[in-house]
Every structure is written in C-alpha cells, then in structure tokens.
Amino acid sequence: MEQKSAAILVVDDNDDNRYTLTRRLKRLGYGEVEIAENGRVALEKIQRQAFDLVLLDIMMPEVNGYEVLEQIKSQKDLRHLPVIMISAVDEIDSIVKCIKMGAEDYLSKPFNPVLLAARVGATLEKKQLRDQEARHLEQLAAEKKRGDDLLHAMLPANAVGELLATDRVQPRRFEDVTVLFCDIVGFTRYCDAHPPEQVVAELQALVGGMEDIVARNGLEKIKTVGDAFLATAGLLEANDDPVTSAVRCGHEMAALSQQIEPHWQVRIGLHTGPVVAGIVGRHKFLYDLWGDTVNVAARITEQAAPGTVCASAETWARAGGIGQQRPLGAVEIKGKGAIELVEIRSLG
C-alpha cells in the first residue's frame, strides 16, 4: 500500500488501544505514527514535533484528554492542529464537550475500521485544504508587501498612503517648499572611462547613502535623474525649518561623496518657493515636481563649486542667515535674470 504523508500521534493510556490504532493506521498507509501513553508525554511530543493529527483519549492519568485539548487550542501555533477524540460509547456527553472545546471529530471504542479510515481521511483532507489556504494567504500577503515596498521605493510615504487609501494621488500646489538638487561633478566622463558594472555599483552606494541622509534630516527623496538627486523639505511631510534641514542634508551629502569610492565631488543647489506635485504616467508612473522653483534650484546647482552647497540669498534669508556664508553676487539664471546667490559653508 502506498504510504501517506501525514504525521499522526496516538494518545491513549491503554496498551491494547494504542497497538490497535497504530496497526490499523499503518494498514491504511500512514507510515509516520507516534504514540504517547498519557497526556503529559503527548504534550511534550507535540511541542517537539509537528503533527498533522492527534487521536486523543479522554480518560488518562496525570493529564487527561480535556487538559491536553485545552492546551493545544490555547496556543496560537497549535490551535489549528486537528484532534479526534477517542471515547467509549457511553461518553457522548464528554464528546460533545470536547467538540465545543475545538475537537475535530471522535472515534468510539471498540474501533470500527471503516469509520477510522473515513474520519481520519476526512480530517487530514480538511487540514490539507486549510494548510493550502494558509499558504495562499501568506503568498498574497508577501505579494502585497512587495507591491507596497515597490510603491515606497517610487513615491514619498505620504503619497503612498493617499494612493492606497483613495486609489489616486491628488495633484496639488505647495507653497514654500525647499528644493534640493545634487549632482556629481564629471560623472559623464567617468561613465565613459569605466565598466558599467563598476559605475552602477558605485552610484548605487552613493545614492543609497544619500537616501539615508535625506530621511535622517526630514527631507523626502523625489527621484534620481542620471546622476542628479532631487529631494524636498516641507513638501508632504511637515518640517519646521526646511531650509536649515536642506543645508545640513547637502553638507552631509558632500561629505559622504568624499568618504566612499570613487570619491566623487558633488555640488548642491537649493531654492525655496511654490511647486506643483503629482503623479504622471500610466504604466510606469512617477511622483514629480514642476514649477519655477524646481528650475531655479537646478540652475543654482550648476553655479555651485564642487563640494559646496549653494542657495539663493532669498532662500538663505528664510533660515535667518545664520552660519558662515560666502556671497557669490548676482548670477544670471536662465529664464529668471540675475539672482543673488550664497555659498553656505556652515550652519554656525
């Protein structure tokens, strides 16, 4: 007879009952059958080994069947373990009590081979279906988590929350957002002179570190475009001092770029003002920013010296102008005319 893959525990204080059940189960093809002579031994074995079914006598010394059943059903990792009660014909009231406590079914003594095969088979089939359903739910939960993780990798956290709650992200205009641009000096030439695997690995290390810096300083990463890193302060998350947070973030980015291979130099530009933000795209969507503030921040980045943080004087004034700075004078910004810029050397 083909052996069936199910681990069964027979619990009975009577040697003859244990022998009879074990022999008949093995004749039915269940090769993995364990025995326990009382409830205490049964509980010890259940804690050590995974079973698919327990055949449990009611009247036993030390720990009786009621107590074993109660302990099984009270433990989160065991409560779904099916239990078939073993009883004498005149113990029907006890059987009803056990069913109410969570027992799956019962077998009367003396054992009927046909009923034994039917009830054990039906109970194991139900457990198999429950296990399949549980695995399916776990797979769904894992897939949902992967989807949520992907959304968090693509969108700011608050935008993800709104998307999950309403199935869309409402486009909005935000006032007084500090926009930070950071780009790598000489990156294009570096790409042309080095293997792609090396370039991507080194860029990944730098961008990953910058993401940590952004999060630590209360900013939000919006996206990377080539070697440019775009973040904001005061957009979807409240920030009491967005300019100072952005300056600190920029200095930490510049320091990080010098600490890791290949020791690129970066330049950082800041500007504060209104922006429009929302999601664009249908199949590969992206949360993005638009407006004059974004363009000016990008142009200011182009004016920054390698390894420095540069901001419009108007933006720096919002932080009270504290710390050490070097005025850069009026610089012509495409589409804006002359704008006063400052290099922010420290926060004081």
Tell me the Cα Rg of the chain: 34
**Mean pLDDT calculated for residue range 136-164:** 77
Per-residue pLDDT, averaged over 37-55, amounts to: 94
**Residue-level pLDDT at 333:** 79
Q: Is the pLDDT of residue 153 over 70?
A: no
The CATH class given to the 170-344 domain equals: alpha beta
Q: Where in the chain is the domain with CATH 3.40.50.2300?
A: 4-135
What tokens appear for 2 in the block? 């083909």
Rounded Cα–Cα distance for residues 340 and 53 (Å): 79
How does residue 83 score in pLDDT terms, banded at 50, 70 and 90?
Answer: very high
For CATH 3.30.70.1230, list the domain ranges present in the chain. 170-344
The token pair at 19 is: 């022998």
What is the percentage of the chain residues whose pLDDT exceeds 90? 60
Q: Which of 319, 307, 322, 305 is nearest to 331 (CA)?
A: 305
Write out pLDDT tens, residues 308-328. Answer: 999 999 998 887 766 788 888
Mean pLDDT, residues 229-258 taken together: 93
pLDDT number for residue 290 = 92
- pLDDT per residue over 88-139, tens digit each? 766 778 888 888 999 999 888 888 889 989 999 999 999 999 889 988 988 8
Other Cβ atoms less than 10 A from the Cβ of 109: the count is 17
Secondary structure (3-state) at 20: helix
Determine the pLDDT at residue 348. Answer: 65
- What's residue 167's pLDDT? 73
Q: Average pLDDT of the chain?
A: 89
148 has pLDDT over 80:
no
CATH number for the segment(s) 4-135? 3.40.50.2300
For residues 46-53, give the mean pLDDT. Answer: 93
Model confidence band, residue 332 (pLDDT cutoffs 50, 70, 90): confident
Per-residue model confidence as pLDDT tens digits over 165-186: 777 778 889 999 999 999 999 9
DSSP sequence for 38-107: SHHHHHHHHHHS--SEEEEESS-SSS-HHHHHHHHHHSTTTTTS-EEEEEETT-HHHHHHHHHHT--EEE
Distance CA 81, CA 126 (A): 11
